Structures are given as C-alpha cells and as structure tokens.
Structure 1
Amino acid sequence: MDQSEKKRKLIVGGALVATLIAAVLVEEEETVIDTVDTIQPVKPSGDRVKNQENNVEQLDVSKLGQRKFSSLAGELFVPTTWAPKQPQANLQEQAAIAAQTAKASAPPPAPTAPPLQFKYTGKAIADNETWIFLSQAGENLIAKLGGKINDKYRLDSINDDAITMTYLPLNIKQTLTINNKLAGNFR
C-alpha cells in the first residue's frame, strides 16, 4: 500500500468512528427525554370554572339576529364583464345600427383588375410577327402577340385602334387605346 491509500483509509475510518460516537450520543439524549415524567394538564380552579359558566349565561344567541340582504345587491353569481354598460337605444337608433350592420355584412365587391399603367410607344412588324413597344414607370417593354408582360399581363390582340390584354391573376380582359397621332408605326 502506498502513502495516499493509507491516508484515504485513515480519513474514512476516522469519519466512521465520529459517526458512531455521534449516534451513541444522540441515543443517550433520546433516552433522557423519554425518562422525564409526562406533563399532566392543569385543572382550572373553582373560581375560573364559575367565570366560564357565567360567560355562557351572558351570551344570548337570539340577540345576534339574522343577516339581512338588500334587494339592490342583485344576484351573486351572474357573469360579469369589465365593459361599461351601453345605454338603451331608441327605435330610430336601433334601425340605424341595423342598417350599418347590414352594410357591413354585405359581401365584398368582386375583385377587378388594376387600371393599365402602360403607354403605347409604337409597334414593329417583321417576318409576319408584330412587336409592341410599351413603357411603364420609365421602363421600356417589348411584347409580341401571345407573349407575357411582367408575368401579369398577356398580349391577346393588336389592331390599329387598340391593344387587348388579359390580366392573368383574375383572367380579366383590358383594352389599351392607341392614339395614332402620337404613336408611330415602324416597318
């Protein structure tokens, strides 16, 4: 056995001896407490018993009376809310409120396509294909028949007076009129 192992065994043995001594001392204290006589309750003297009997005679339960509940208290277990009570509306106000709720419950209007933001700047015809030149917010766009514009519009038809497009999210056809005086045709 080396030195560290001997030290460890000495420490563990010392702790064991200390524990045994403590256990013996605790047992001795418990036996001392158990040997003490039990305490007997003290009986009241004659004067004290007479005073208690007099107090019982003085207490008249009929003098306490019954609880009286006010009719203004209302019901105790009704549901309550923190919102203030609304005053009663007269018939005209009720009719106006009913009309407002009817308007609010009406179905929303059908969705519509936004107005066309394109400006016609010209067209070109090459190899039996017609190309349209449009501008939108300073951006120049080129499209041909059946082609898409900004992934939201499809170019359906072209004639001398108007261009017909379909707004793809709602499948609604829209017409862009052409002002021939301002727009030029390129051939």
Structure 2
Amino acid sequence: MSGSGKSTLGALLARRLDCPFLEGDDFHDAQAVAKMSAGQPLDDADRWPWLDRLGFAAGEVVASGGRVVAACSALKRGYRERLRAAIGAPTRFVLLDAGQDELLRRLTQRSGHYMPASLLDSQLAALERPGPDEAIFMLDAAAPPGRLCDQAQAWLDSDAHLAGDAIRASGH
C-alpha cells in the first residue's frame, strides 16, 4: 500500500542483506505514472505489465545466483502470484500493515511523489488480505524502520534454505 513504508524497509533490508533493491515505482511506464498523477487509479490492465517488468528484473538477479529485495504494492493475490511466476524462484513477502488514517497521514505529509493521497481509497478497495497458504510475514508499519528490518531479517533467517530467494517488501 502506498505510504506503508515499504520502500524504506526494502532499502534497509537490501543493505543489510548486501543485495540489490528494486523500487517498484521505477518499473511503472510513463502512461501509468501520468494516470496516477492525474488522480486516476490503475486497473489490472495497467498493473500486469508493471508486475511482469518488476518480477522479471528480480528473477534475473535470482537466476544469476543472488538475492533481491523489491518494494511494490502487490495488493491482490493474483498480483503476488504473477510476481512469483515472473521471478521463477521461491519468493517471500513482507506486508507492512497500517490503518487507513495512518496511511492517509503519511501520504499527505510526503512531497514529490506522483501518487496522490486521493488514490488511497482505491488501493484499500483493491486490497486482498493474504491467505494462510501464502508465504507472507505481516509487520506493524507503525514500528520504527530499524525494528521492522530486524524482524524481517529474523523471519528470513529462520528459513535458512531461502538463500537465493527473491524477497519482497510489500506494503499495506
């Protein structure tokens, strides 16, 4: 979810894991950015190519024997499945959970981002909470970034067989 802190956590976690960080916002095409800038929510047709570009980029890192951390709003189960398929390797998700009021506060306080706070409701409407069968670790977005990074790393380290997995910092 926009404003959850996923980019902050993703960058911290990537530094800690000494691996590349992929900012999902960088994978949107110009048309999608213009649409969001104009206050129009993206639909699935806008998101599929974006998810593919991000997933393939993450998959290339993993295929070369590395780990990668990526941040994006994988709001729906289908989006998460699409990312897993594009990455082509076991993938773990971290979901930063925050309430609507907190997300709105954060979005109205940030500047220089194309995603206006007015689109928060459309993201909340699109959100599909993770199912128990999904490999998703939920964290309270209100916690300090350093603590979130510690918790995410501990979760990842608890599964030692994950070396080489793609790790995503997703947000809600």
TM tier, smaller: under 0.3
Q: Which has the larger radius of gyration?
A: 1
TM-score normalised by structure 2 residue count:
0.20
TM-score normalised by structure 1 residue count:
0.19
The one of the two structures with greater contact order (alpha-carbon pairs below 8 A, sep at least 6) is 2
